[in-house]
């Protein structure tokens, strides 16, 4: 079974530029998450989708971050304009349903450096 796929794996951009990350969850998984992991910290939820609807985006900095999940499958996370403090690993994860007992599977992450 294929895992959660993310691209690009690594990206270096200058501040005020834009960047987009793509995620393909495990086939059939209805729930998709984007987490931000800053060096030395644990992952922090940015946004959670159930199919193509947003369940929780309370911690998404909406002035610069946006995310979409068209057709309830792939998802894209965009940052525009980027700030130095956005340097982090962006982890995509998926689970069959957002209910108890379901394991959340993580991708390998997209590493962003803003200079």
Partner 1 sequence: AQSVTQPDIHITVSEGASLELRCNYSYGATPYLFWYVQSPGQGLQLLLKYFSGDTLVQGIKGFEAEFKRSQSSFNLRKPSVHWSDAAEYFCAVGNQAGTALIFGKGTTLSVSS
Q: How far is the CB of 50 from partner 1 (least distance, A)?
A: 9
Burial letters 60-94, b for 16+ CB under 10 A, else e:
beeeebbbebeeebebebebeebeeebbbbbbbbb
What's the full length of the chain, in residues?
A: 115
**Per CB under 8 A, does 113 bind partner 1?**
no
Considering only 27, 28, 63, 99, the residue that binds partner 1 (CB under 8 A) is 99
Q: How far is the CB of 61 from partner 1 (least distance, A)?
A: 16
Q: How far is the CB of 69 from partner 1 (least distance, A)?
A: 15
Considering only 60, 75, 107, 112, the residue that binds partner 1 (CB under 8 A) is 107
Three-state DSSP class for 73?
coil
Considering only residues 2 through 61, tell me which ones interact with partner 1, judged by CB under 8 A.
Answer: 4, 31, 33, 40-45, 48, 55-56
Q: How many residues bind partner 1 (CB under 8 A)?
A: 27
Alpha carbon distance 85, 37 (integer Å): 11
Pairing of strands 44-50, 31-37: antiparallel
CA 77, distance to chain mean position in Å, is 6
Residues that bind partner 1 (CB under 8 A): 4, 31, 33, 40-45, 48, 55-56, 91, 93, 97-109
């Amino acid at each position: 079974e294929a895992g959660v796929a993310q691209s690009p794996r690594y990206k270096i951009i200058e501040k005020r530029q834009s960047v987009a990350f793509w995620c393909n969850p495990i086939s059939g998984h209805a729930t998709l998450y984007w987490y931000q992991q800053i060096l030395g910290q644990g992952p922090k939820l940015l946004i959670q989708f159930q199919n193509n609807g947003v369940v929780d985006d309370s911690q998404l900095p909406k002035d610069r971050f946006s995310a979409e999940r068209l057709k309830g499958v792939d998802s894209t996370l965009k940052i525009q304009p980027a700030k130095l403090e956005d340097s982090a690993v962006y982890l995509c994860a998926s689970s069959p349903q957002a209910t108890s007992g379901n394991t959340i599977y993580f991708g390998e992450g997209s590493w962003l450096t803003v200079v």
